[in-house]
Chains A and B, each alone.
Chain A
Amino acid sequence: MPEAQPAFPYATLPQQHEAAQLGMWTFLATEILFFGGLVLAYFVYHYGYPQDFDAAARHTKIVLGTTNTAILLTSSFLVAWAVTAGKTGFGRGAAVLLAAAAGLGLIFLALKGLEYSEEYRERLVPALNFSFDAAHARGAQLFFVFYFVATGLHAIHVAVGIAILLAIANRARQQRYSADYHAPLTVAGLYWHFVDAVWVVLYALIYLPGRSGA
């Protein structure tokens, strides 16, 4: 295997690696503020319509949501494993693990689609067929607008993540990464973990209200 060379305009490989890491962290800071605006809107309306939000949240599919949480957490574990494998030069192993993680991502999206179709049948989709008991309809509609916008944006991120994982898996299979050069691998991993972390927050906001206690 030829010795890896730093890409233009870097002088050394560690410099290139650090730049890639910092770039991704900065991008993730942007993403946090992007989802942050949405989460702020959620809290404002949760404060305004606490009972409506609880009533609406009880209509979410907690079994599917919890299964999906487990699936994403598992995929994150596989990605972390793949990064370690790639760093130690075990490219084929990393490729298999990344492909498996991407597969879990696809299952996540499929289950999410199933969830959406059930919600459509139960007339919970604002703008298309929303109907809810009149006492809670105002806040419940706001809840479901948040639900579809947030999970929709998250699903786009998952889809992008799957494409990235597969591309990186292909390069790992060709033994492109080593102890000296593995910036794309770690950076892709960071992105995937972030997408996972966003889901954990969304899970708490979407599925749990109104389900504890009385």
Chain B
Amino acid sequence: MSAAEPNYLTADFRLRSWFITTDHKRVALLFFATITLFFFLGGAAATLIRLELLTPRGDLVTSDVYNRLFTMHGVIMVWFFLIPSIPTTFGNFMVPLMIGARDLAFPRLNLTSWYLFLIGGAVTLYALFIGGVDTGWTFYTPFSTMYSNGHVVLAVIGVFITGFSSILTGLNFIVTIHRLRAPGLTWYRLPIFLWSLYATSVILVLATPVLAITLLLVAIERLAGVGIFDPKLGGDPLLFQHLFWFYSHPAVYIMILPGMGVVTELVTCFSRKTLFGYKFVAWASMAIAAVGFFVWGHHMFVSGQSVFAGLVFSFMSFVVAVPSAIKVFNWTATLHKGWVHFDAPMLYALGFIGLFTIGGLTGLFLASLAFDVWVTDTYFVIAHFHYIMVGGMVTAYFGGLHYWWPKITGRLYPEYWARAAAILIFFGFNMTFFPQFILGILGMPRRYHAYDPALQVWNVLSSAGASVLAIAYALPLFYLGWSLFWGRKAGPNPWRATGLEWQTSSPPPKHNFIETPVVRRGPYEYTPDPVPQNA
């Protein structure tokens, strides 16, 4: 970095310049700080849950407090960490860099998105701390509207506001990827990370508004006491579930698709090989986004929906597994005969592939009608979706964090600490959640703070794993923080990667590129020697 050309961090040192910034890189860091806070808040709730479940008797907290704890954990982790996680941080930072643009299409809208997120988060946190909500993150009616004694309306309003943050981010990505690609950057030359963010954005834009109207109706029913979903007043609680899952199942793909995109970048870069079956991986994201809109009923197999609906939703849920499997096979084929480097980002990527596969396969168990009846509302379901969201998504998030850290900060992180954390996360995660599959099969129901003493050994194992996991997740705070001040200077391209984001200095200058790059080739030309996209 020469003194003449300040980077985006040194362009303006005043604190005020951060709060009025429209630079996508700074907005990404604002989001990063905010969601990191939420991650540790949600994690604290999870820690208390696992502490309570250490013993079969409900002795640490009352059942009422326990309800509020798991609701807090779910609401924070779903809407204030997982949904925004990769899109608002690495997405915001990398989309313009990867397509050779100076910023997102609507820079001011991007900052608006952060403020909406902050306001929504503050409102929901306020609701959670002045007494909490006991409905679970799903706000099922009529409990949430007629019987719950928690602050449902306030929590719902916070989520509603945050939804518009999601929508604006998705809209910005769609327009940016369509209209701001550098000369020569055709769709089939886009890095897969952008395809998966594009697919994610389509879901953000089309599914989130349905959640918004549903939550609005819940708030109206609760405030006005009129029947919308309450069967006593002529309403239909199943309608709520349909509307809610029409958003919330695609929301699972909002969480996992960006992770798949990150892992694709990592697998090619660290096996020094072209991606196997580029077009299949690209279109698999789109297929997941499209089919993912038609599987929501598998959350309602035991709700009383018709058997025919159950069959159709079961079949569609099997269909959506096909593109997911295509991705796993293509990553594996990319590794095959690659020159695999086990740097920390790659350890996370490999961990992702394994954990996501377990999560995906157990998803097929749950998509089977008969088996689902057996394990509905048990720890099997909990284990399954934590394998996807924590084992999958959070692992990919940490992989991306390490991969792009040198680009974002200009510093290298300490490699051995990072590898240790990656391995610790993998083992801690499995130790926490694999016993929960067994607990589910044995019939332990979710959302109870007391359980049959015969199940204690698996619960103790799970809680022990959770403490390992908690330490492993806290580690990066320290060594990444350390590297900000004492890490080695990274240089523009420490991984010898081919994407456009690596062809500018680290940290990038305020407007990303001194000169708009011209793209001449696909994203993953690693063999025999890596060739940048603009060379």
Binding site for B on A (CB under 8 A): 8-11, 15, 18-19, 22-23, 26-27, 29-31, 33-38, 40-41, 44-45, 48-49, 126-127, 130, 138-139, 141-142, 145, 149
Contact = CB atoms under 8 A, between A and B. Distances in A.
B300 interface: no
Interface in B85-114: 96, 101-107
Nearest to B238: A44
A45 B236 contact: yes
A141 B210 contact: no
Nearest to B206: A33
B234 A41 contact: no
A149 to B, nearest CB: 6
Nearest to B205: A30
Given A126-B226, A138-B233, A33 B210 contact: yes
Given A23-B175, A48-B236, A141-B233, A33 B207 contact: yes
A26 B171 contact: yes
B101 A9 contact: yes
B217 A22 contact: no
B163 to A, nearest CB: 10
Interface of B: 96, 101-107, 167, 170-171, 174-175, 178-180, 205-210, 212-214, 216-217, 220, 224-228, 233-236, 239, 243, 246, 511, 516
B209 A34 contact: yes
Contacts of A45: 234-236
A22 B202 CA distance: 13
Contacts of A44: 236, 239
Interface residues of B, dominant DSSP: helix
Contacts of B104: 9
Contact of B171 (A9, A30, A127): A30
Contacts of B226: 126-127, 130, 141, 145
A20 to B, nearest CB: 9
A41 B233 contact: no
A33 B209 contact: yes
B180 A23 contact: no
Contacts of A40: 239, 243
A44 to B, nearest CB: 5
15 contacts: A8-B103, A8-B107, A10-B180, A11-B516, A15-B179, A23-B105, A30-B171, A37-B214, A44-B236, A130-B226, A141-B226, A141-B227, A142-B227, A142-B234, A145-B220
A126 B205 CA distance: 32
Contacts of B224: 126-127
Nearest to B226: A126
Nearest to B225: A127
B234 A9 contact: no
Contacts of A22: 174-175, 178-179
A23 B173 CA distance: 10
Given A11-B516, A44-B239, A34 B212 contact: yes
A74 B176 CA distance: 35
B174 A26 contact: yes
A142 B175 contact: no
A38 B102 contact: no
A65 B222 CA distance: 29
Nearest to A40: B243
Most B CB atoms within 10 A — which of A19, A41, A126, A141? Answer: A41
Nearest to B216: A149
Contacts of B236: 44-45, 48
Contacts of B233: 138, 141
Contacts of A10: 180
A119 to B, nearest CB: 15
A34 B178 CA distance: 24
A213 to B, nearest CB: 26
Given A19-B175, A19-B180, A127-B225, A30 B209 contact: yes
